[in-house]
Structure 1
Amino acid sequence: MRNVSMMTSALKREVFHLIHCAAFTGTIILVISLGGGLRENNSITFETEETLSSWEQYGFFLAAVLYVTRFLTLLCLPLALFNFLGLVLFNAFPDQPKTKIFSRRDHVSVPFVCFRVVTKGDFPQLIRNNILKNRNICEETGLEHFTFEVVTDKSISLVTSKKVRELVVPEDYATKSGALYKSRALQYCLEKEVNNLNDEDWIVHLDEETLLTSGCIKGIVNFICEGKHHFGQGVITYNNDEVVNLMLTLCDSIRVADDMGKVQFQLKVMHMPIMGWKGSYVISNVGAERDVSFDHGPRGSVAEDAYFGLMAASKGYSFGFIEGDMWEKSPFTIKDFLRQRKRWLQGLLLVVHSSEIPLRFRILLGCCVYATATAPLSTLNVFLQPLFPIQISRFVDLCGCFVGGVIIYMNLYGTIRSYTYSAKHVGIGKLLLLSILGFFVQPFKYILEIIAILWGLMTPKNEFAIVDKNVEQNEMENTVSVVPC
């Protein structure tokens, strides 16, 4: 019976994936059709007399704006292709790693795992609560050889034991290159007099609010035991535990789709985070992490995750994808949402301009970052294209429609994927309602993104904003608070 149930579940998920692929392709075709990409009269070549008509019709300045905004959409093409391939080539609704019963001998064969959390120490109760929850999950799942390390700028009075260690970074500690913020704290852990891990051990990097699941623990153990890669990352969802701000949580749905698309494709196929990755749910071999280090100066300190990933890839280290989800929270307030996105853009701009990383490892991430930085201009196409049609290559039209179709579908898929795997059951009706709500939230999301982009471009790029995700402190302060779905 168990085998029949497993086969039925696998078949069901294959069917879901086929439906997903059909819906994904259909969305792209629909956008191309609505955008005029299928009309024969839209196919214009770059012959001089035909191209000049747009310049003559609108004048040099307006025509230049129209052409520039249209061509800027091509910067999004690599990211859209990676997401499309990741969501089509690999099952978009996979089984979470199965519960596995380890014998004591199997436990001994699994290397030591250190779960490391870096914090400024502003939310001690949040850290203590999550350490307790995560430790219980590890024990319930059967993991034995593990510890939790909290690296903090100020003590949070953790009760230390063999399973829990608190490291307070001295105020006078400085790295050789002058690394700042989280990079400084992470590098402190790797110093010889501080580090107590062997090169064969493993570190799992978590954020303050990250919660482990039995699925991700199994995925981590499987990843380590396979022994194929030095670094790995998996999927993070944002709708579990307690949802504080439903609107912003739905805005983050596309990040789930990005994990299942771009991140999965680049780690499973290219085995390097060539377009960036996140700073949490990162698993790394201790010896490899110490070799790469986080000591890359101020330029590598704002988006330390992307900088570290590209630096490790340039040194020849291999990356893989981890099955199983972790849980985190979306920002609680619009202000924090804007600050978070601003920091990402500013940090990634520093990464793609760093001469310390070879250009071939920066170029695709550079396309993504400049696509983001120029989004306020490329977004104008939504309004300019219907009002001021121009003669342009059909290839550009098709690419722009493809990018738009991928983005629209990713928002829908991210919501479905998040709530399908939710800790609490969500019925079909509620899932449909959330999907519709998520769709209508997207214009608001992109307005926020554009504001954050403009803010990031006009302010110094050496700040590291901390987003407050302490539920207990904020639950009475937020005006948009909902019961978890």
Structure 2
Amino acid sequence: MISAKPHLRTTSLYKILEYNYLIFPPVLVLTFYVCYAFFRFQLDKLNISVAGGWDWTTVVHVLLTFICTFAQAPPYSNVWGLCLPMRPFAYARAPLKRSFKTLRICLVTKGTNFETVLNSVHQWEDLRQHSYLRFHVVIDDENCEELRKALPSFVQIIQVPGPNIFRTRKAKYKARALEFYRQQQNLSKEDWVLHLDEESLIDAASVQACFDFILGGEAQIGMGTIYYNGVNHWQNSFLSAAEVTRISDDFGQFQLPIRICGRPLLGYMHGSWVLINGAVENAITWETACLAEDFWFAYNAVSRGFKFGWLHAVVREQPPETLRDFFRQRRRWYTGIFSIPNVFVRLSLMTTVIGPISFFVWPLFTLLNKREPIPHWLFVWLLWNSVSHGYTIVVASVLQDLVTAGVSWSSLIVHAAKSVVLWPFVHLLQAFALVSCLWQPAKGFAVIAKS
């Protein structure tokens, strides 16, 4: 396995992804052919026909599969995002188009995950040679004197005042802290802010990607890929597999609309590893009570016509440590997104979370229910749905492991297999979290435990 420093492993990864359009499509086609041949052989052994006609089960499955497939925007977005040219070095190779004064690294914390914050800030030590950088930790708690003393001197600590001193019209929780930071910093169009969660681990490649984006790009907002291998990598199989599904979604739901249209789908934006121009922050602000302040910000930025781009570097984070934290985290996201007053946002969320379950449930039901024959084309379509989604999960798992120190080739294979097997159960739990928000929305901003 690769044993270099994180930023060197990242650079090596993107040298491979520069040729993604030559690597992944033929491998996907070969994978589908092998699966097709295998299942046709198994069905023939079991005397199950895939050359039948139409009956009521066929009609139901075609309609449901059609709805859940084409409700995605666009259909098979993860596959398209994986196979279309990524051009990861486009900004680095572009001529200089603009200048800037400062890049401010902003980490927001409640201070409850003390060691996590210190570990993240420790990664900044090697970045201090860049004169453009400013290092800021925003503490949204008045009783964090111990954390203030533990942070290194090169970090500027910004304490969010209590509600009696700093009042907002709407902003609550993290949005309130971000709004105070925005006002306190007096940002201009020559300033950029890199927003991070308290467990986000950046390196030289991350910062260089920001510089390239600012100097060689035209977009005002950048978002990048997050891998969940910073801490506790595959210590809990289910929780790690759940984050692999998020990496898979980065190819399509998050990255593809930005690469093609220069804007995210509706408001799908990460809450961390987000680079925003100061003038954009001043135009949109963080004045929102939405529990998904990142989605709200992107949704409003899209409506105002601001342009987005993709940061081709990896920031490392960690999965939740318990199922309870996983469930609470998803409920907060879904409650926040559902609060956006747009029917298409809500439909998109429901089809994104619930729809993929059909790619596993319906083929099994169709093939095994009384062994009723189905049309051959429907068999091919249902198999394609499962194989293509499973393929993106495998690729996401493998790419994450390739930039993780100490992962053996055997572990890489096991992790990929676990990700595929656990993927339907992850979606079932997420679907339950989504449905639970319909009758009892999440209350407050749950800060999950991190190590």
Question: What TM-score bracket applies, with the shorter chain setting the length?
Answer: 0.7 to 0.9
Could you tell me which residue of structure 1 aligns to residue 415 of structure 2?
434
Equivalent residues in 2 for 1:14-413, closer than 5 Å: 18-28=22-32, 41=51, 54=56, 69-75=64-70, 77-91=72-86, 110-131=100-121, 133-139=122-128, 142=130, 144-157=132-145, 158-159=148-149, 163-172=155-164, 173-176=166-169, 178-191=170-183, 194-243=184-233, 245-247=235-237, 248-275=239-266, 276-296=268-288, 298=289, 301-351=290-340, 354-355=341-342, 362=344, 366-373=347-354, 380-386=361-367, 387=369, 401-413=383-395
- What are the Cα deviations for residues 82-132 of structure 1, in whole angstroms up to 9, with x where unaligned? 22221101359x68999xxxxxxx9x965311111222232234323322x
Q: Secondary structure at the match of 1:252?
A: helix
Greater alpha carbon shift after TM alignment, 380-389 vs 304-313: 380-389
CA shift at 1:244, angstroms? 6.8
Distance in 2 separating the partners of 1:399 and 1:244: 33
CA shift at 1:69, angstroms? 4.0
For structure 2, which runs of at least 5 residues remain unmatched after alignment?
Answer: 1-11, 44-48
Structure 1 contact 302–346 (Cα < 8 Å) conserved: yes
Could you tell me which residue of structure 2 aligns to residue 47 of structure 1?
none
RMSD over aligned CA atoms reads 3.7
For structure 1, which runs of at least 5 residues remain unmatched after alignment?
Answer: 1-7, 45-49, 99-105, 472-485
Q: Secondary structure at the match of 1:209?
A: coil
Could you tell me which residue of structure 2 aligns to residue 417 of structure 1?
399
Q: 1:460 to 1:145 in 2, by over 3 A?
A: closer
Matched to 2:104, the amino acid is C
* Identity among equivalent pairs (%): 22
Structure 1 contact 31–402 (Cα < 8 Å) conserved: no
| Paired residue total | 420
CA shift at 1:400, angstroms? 5.1
CA shift at 1:65, angstroms? 6.8
Matched to 1:466, the amino acid is V
Distance in 1 separating the partners of 2:168 and 2:302: 22
Greater alpha carbon shift after TM alignment, 334-343 vs 323-332: 334-343
CA shift at 1:463, angstroms? 3.9
CA shift at 1:425, angstroms? 4.5
Matched to 1:224, the amino acid is I
Distance in 1 separating the partners of 2:395 and 2:141: 39
CA shift at 1:78, angstroms? 2.5
CA shift at 1:76, angstroms? 5.0
Give the TM-score of the pair, scaled to structure 2.
Answer: 0.79
CA shift at 1:20, angstroms? 2.6
Structure 1 contact 153–168 (Cα < 8 Å) conserved: yes
Distance in 1 separating the partners of 2:91 and 2:360: 40
Greater alpha carbon shift after TM alignment, 339-348 vs 434-443: 434-443
Could you tell me which residue of structure 2 aligns to residue 5 of structure 1?
none
Distance in 1 separating the partners of 2:71 and 2:35: 16
